[in-house]
């Protein structure tokens, strides 16, 4: 569980706030109404796949679904770094939402799998602590890269961190996950 939580914390450094996607849309010239619709579409696409993601995680295993979700996250953030207009932003945002919605539940369910029955509350506390501790500096780092370089560089940096976390998950935490989950 410690390996997973540490890798999850690294992945959280890549997981910039989704409000940066809206800020990027604003920078590309989308008006306020279109930004609100984009935000709604992104959240709708996440909601659309969350139940199916849970079923897939139960069938194929949580670890595999997390690997797919994190890989898709890295890919979509790389694609965000290439976006130059509103329609491209819409397509990548919805693709991002579909994959993130599919894998978020598996991340949390894996905590329940790793924890002993009498320590599940503590395990979820550690999960949220690690995620929370990483979220604030992640947003600051993403914003600083955006400010001093560009939005494309910030998204590309997040994609690289997500790729590193995915590789660590696969090669460091995965052996324990394979024995524990399926």
Mean pLDDT of 60-73: 84
Average pLDDT value over all residues in the chain: 84
User: Residue 137 contacts by C-beta under 8 Å, 6 or more apart in sequence?
Assistant: 13
* Domains of the chain, first to last: 2-177 (1.20.1250.20)
Residue for token digits 């995680």?
57
Read off the tokens for 32: 């306020």
pLDDT of residue 87: 94
Encode pLDDT of 166-178 as tens digits.
888 887 665 555 5
- Evaluate the CA torsion angle 51, 53, 58, 60 in order and state its sign: positive
Between residues 158 and 103, which one has the greater pLDDT? 158
Q: Are 155 and 81 in contact, with CB atoms under 8 Å apart?
A: yes
Read off the tokens for 90: 């819409």
pLDDT-wise least confident of 14-18, 67-71, 99-103, 157-161: 14-18
d(CA 89, CA 95): 10
pLDDT of residue 16: 78
* Backbone torsions φ then ψ of 84, nearest 5 degrees: -125, -5
Angle at 128 between CA 157 and CA 134, to 5 degrees: 30
pLDDT of residue 148: 96
pLDDT of residue 179: 46
* Backbone torsions φ then ψ of 13, nearest 5 degrees: -65, -25
């Amino acid at each position: 569980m410690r390996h997973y939580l540490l890798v999850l914390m690294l992945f959280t450094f890549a997981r910039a706030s989704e409000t940066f996607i809206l800020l990027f849309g604003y920078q590309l010239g989308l008006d306020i109404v279109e930004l609100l619709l984009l935000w709604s579409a992104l959240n709708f696409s996440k909601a659309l796949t969350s139940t199916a993601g849970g079923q897939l995680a139960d069938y194929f295993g949580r670890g595999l679904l997390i690997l797919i979700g994190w890989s898709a996250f890295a890919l979509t953030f790389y694609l965000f770094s290439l976006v130059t207009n509103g329609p491209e932003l819409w397509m990548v945002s919805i693709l991002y939402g579909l994959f993130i919605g599919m894998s978020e539940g598996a991340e949390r369910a894996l905590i329940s799998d790793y924890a002993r029955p009498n320590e599940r509350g503590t395990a979820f506390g550690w999960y949220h602590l690690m995620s929370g501790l990483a979220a604030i500096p992640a947003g600051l780092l993403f914003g600083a890269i955006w400010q001093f370089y560009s939005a494309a560089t910030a998204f590309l940096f997040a994609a690289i961190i997500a790729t590193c976390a995915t590789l660590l998950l696969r090669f460091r935490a995965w052996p324990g996950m394979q024995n524990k989950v399926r």
